[in-house]
Amino acid sequence: MDHSMTTTTFELPGYKIVKQFGVVRGITVRSRSVFGTIGGSLQTLFGGNITLFTQLCEKSREEAFEMMVDHAEQSGANAVVGVRYDATELMNGVTEVLCYGTAVSVSRV
């Protein structure tokens, strides 16, 4: 599925939803490595963007998003609307990232 066929809104301009397949999701659980934790802690001393944690978050969101898209394709969808992210800390240093939306089939208007 082309990533341009995913949106946080509930419609795609120029397309009509012809069928809904229900909620699809991608879930990943990540932990920080000891080195990442030490490196991130050192970066906090200087302030600003903590790049080690930013990269971990971006990788987690990307992985969850790709899993959601795969789930949608397996459902027969060619688009996903209402895309959202959620994150939950399961234990210290371990975070679940969830990406979800509604799988739909769309056709050009």
State which residues form the domain around 77. Answer: 3-108
pLDDT digits (tens, 9 = 90+) for 1-51: 999 999 999 999 999 999 999 999 999 998 765 555 555 555 555 656 667
pLDDT at 43: 54
State whether the Cα torsion 25-26-27-30 is positive or negative: negative
For residues 18 and 35, what is the distance between their CA atoms, to the nearest angstrom?
A: 49
Whichever domain contains 65, its CATH number is 3.30.110.70
- State the burial class of residue 101 (Cβ atoms within 10 Å of its Cβ: 0-12, 13-18, 19+): buried
**pLDDT given for residue 91 in this prediction:** 82
pTM over 0.95: no
Q: How far apart are CA 68 and CA 40, in angstroms?
A: 29
pLDDT for 37-96, tens place per residue? 555 555 555 656 667 777 888 999 999 999 999 999 999 999 999 999 999 988 877 889
Return the beta strands (E) in 1-109 as ranges.
Answer: 15-31, 79-91, 94-108
Number of domains the chain is built from: 1
